[in-house]
Structures are given as C-alpha cells and as structure tokens.
Structure 1
C-alpha cells in the first residue's frame, strides 16, 4: 500500500468505503469496472480488502463514479444523531386527550422534516378554526376513516388513502366514525 493511502486510512477503510460509495451511486461492481477501465475482479478484490490500490489506481476507479480522492476520503457515513426510535421514544406533542400525535426525532437538530403517528379517537376534531402554517404536508391513513377538509375540498379517506397539500391552505382533520383513525403524516418544514 502506498504511504499516501496509509495516511488517509487503513486498507479496510478503503475497501468498505469504496463499496459504500459505489452503492450510493447505484453502481454494480461490473458497471464501475467498465466505467473505470479496470477488471471486475479488481473492484471485487479492493472491496474485500484483499488488495490495496495505489493512489493512481484508486483515482482511476473514482473517475468512473465520478468522485474526487478528497471527497472519497472525507465523506462521512456515520449518522450524527439517533437514527432509530422505539415506540416509547416518540414524543407526544398533542394536548387534546382525543388526539395523539407522536413525533419521530423530536430532538434531532436542524430537522427539515416532521413525521407523526397520529391517532384520532371517534368524534375527535382539530377544531372549527382551520389549521394553517407554512410548508407542505402529506399522510396515509392506516386505520379508520378520516374526514379531511383542505380549503373548499372535503374527502372521506379510508385505510390506504393518502393526501398531499400546501399547508398554508386552511385544513381540518375529523374522525366522524366509530373507530379510531390512525395515520402517518409528514410536514416540511416542521411546524412543531
């Protein structure tokens, strides 16, 4: 292995990193090899950490993506915060006993997206005063029947039905049925 590659990371880092980068760019080993003008076996051996490429060989391979050596070694694949959340880690953000809104990743810094698991008990209603905020929102009904009003449109949504609208349009959620409504929703940017 060349001194330059040793200073940047171990050979295992290079093989694992190459495989991750290749997969991120949606390339098979064969496609990357074709683009880079090397054999499929060369890519395979590097990814298995059985061969350590020289800087020039690695650059040639990365040109097939295309990706610079600097970007290859500085890409951060580790999540900066929690990625997975148990049901108990979802944060309740509703104060209405008939409506629960459990948020995914409430404490994630600089969130660009808000995802909720919402439950509306029979008779639950977000209120006569229509909701309105910036951004967009969408959702999918998982159980029950939800009445959704968006502007002058109103629709009864059943399990599997979905919605997507600009959130600055006045909107209202109601459960006029006899069973609880469960839906998964997302807003961007977050409104809570």
Structure 2
C-alpha cells in the first residue's frame, strides 16, 4: 500500500464524492472512462494516479482537480483562512515527475485556488479537460524556467514572468523544453467550487 498521505487524502475524497453523487464504482467508471479496477485501487490508496487520470475523476465528480488533494479531516473542520507551509499537501505525478503543492487553505470560503508546480526538464503532461458542469478559469504565472503550454490547437512559449490565462474547456499540454526545472503558480477559479 502507498504510504504517501496525499494518496490517502485522494482516496478518501474520491470515495466521499462518489458517495455524495450516488455513483457506484461501475457508474463512475462509465462516466470517466477510468476502469472500475483502477478506481478501486485509487479508493484504497493502493496506487498513485497520474495527473491526467485525476483530471478525469475530478470532471466526473463535478469538482476541481485541486479539491481532490484536500485532507478530509481539515476539510470537515471549520474553514481556516490560513494554510501554513507545513499543511500544504504536496503530490508528485508518477508519470512525469512534476511536483504539485496545493497552496490555498482547504475548504476556505473562496472560489480561487492556488497551486505551485515544479516541472522537470523534458517532462510532458496532457490534460484532456473533459466537459464539466461548471466553468473553470486558469492562469499560469511562470516564475522560473520555460514552458510550452498548448491550449487546444494553440501553443504558447512562456518565459519567467509571463502569465497565460485560459478556460479549462479543451485539452491542455504542458511541456518543459529546457534543461532546467520550471516553476510556476497556477490560479484556478471555478464558478461552482462549493457545490460539494
């Protein structure tokens, strides 16, 4: 079994959200295109899912990707306006090695979520961004290095200091073309962030 506490958070959140939606494992598998066996492994924290897979689950469950990383115990308590560095969950994509830190306080009364990403040289991640029943806007502010970010058919080369804004309604591809890690901040605003 995976020892990473963030995988435990993901497992608990997916189980709770699936139950809140009244979906069986089979129904969620049909809705997301993720196999029932993979869903079962995720819900038991026996695997570390990729970013692309988690994006499919978030869309199928009607939540933002960031909300899947929240500690259920912190989410269940009264919302806190402050997230100390030590409380901010860190997750590493097992496929690309990119490191994602959820900066925003869990359950805070805000539609804005902030994430910090360290992206290894040469790594690529494709997010399908399946249809959601709410609108999600994203801005990426590159802090160091370079990134090629594809939004639909358009690709943008970002250098340190550049900021790209787009809606999460078409596939996006992230690629670090350089020989050094890239670091960027992601700001996400979702219209229906508090539905669950």
Structure 2 length as normaliser, TM-score? 0.50
CA distance in 1, matches of 2:86, 2:121: 24
Instruction: Tell me what 1:90 maps to.
Output: 88
Residue 98 of structure 1: CA displacement? 1.5
Aligned partner of 1:105 in structure 2 is: 104
Query: How many residues were matched structurally?
Result: 110
What TM-score comes out, normalization by structure 1 length? 0.51
Give 3-state SS (helix, strand or coil) of 1:126's partner.
strand
CA–CA separation in structure 2 for the residues paired with 1:170 and 1:154:
11
Q: Name the residue aligned to 1:152.
A: 153
Runs of 4+ in 1 over 6 A off after TM superposition: none
Could you tell me how far 1:94 is from its partner in structure 2?
4.0
In structure 2, distance between residues paired with 1:111 and 1:93: 22
Distance in 1 between the 2:89 and 2:186 partners? 14
- Counting only pairs closer than 5 Å after superposition, residues 173-192 of structure 1 correspond to structure 2 as 173-189=174-190
- Deviation of 1:124 (Å): 1.5
Alignment gaps of 5+ in structure 1? 1-79
Larger Rg: 1
Q: Distance in 2 between matches of 1:99 and 1:140?
A: 16
Render the CA deviation track for 1:13-32: whole Å, top value 9, x for unaligned. Answer: xxxxxxxxxxxxxxxxxxxx
For 2:170, the equivalent position in structure 1 comes to 169
Identify which of structures 1 and 2 has the higher relative contact order when contacts are C-alpha pairs closer than 8 Å and 6+ apart.
Answer: 2
SS in 2 for 1:178: coil
Post-superposition offset of 1:167: 0.6
Alignment of 1:37-186 (within 5 A): 81-96=79-94, 98-105=97-104, 107-109=106-108, 111-127=110-126, 130-132=128-130, 134-186=135-187
The CA deviation string for residues 48-92 of structure 1, in whole angstroms up to 9 with x for no partner, is xxxxxxxxxxxxxxxxxxxxxxxxxxxxxxxx6433333222112
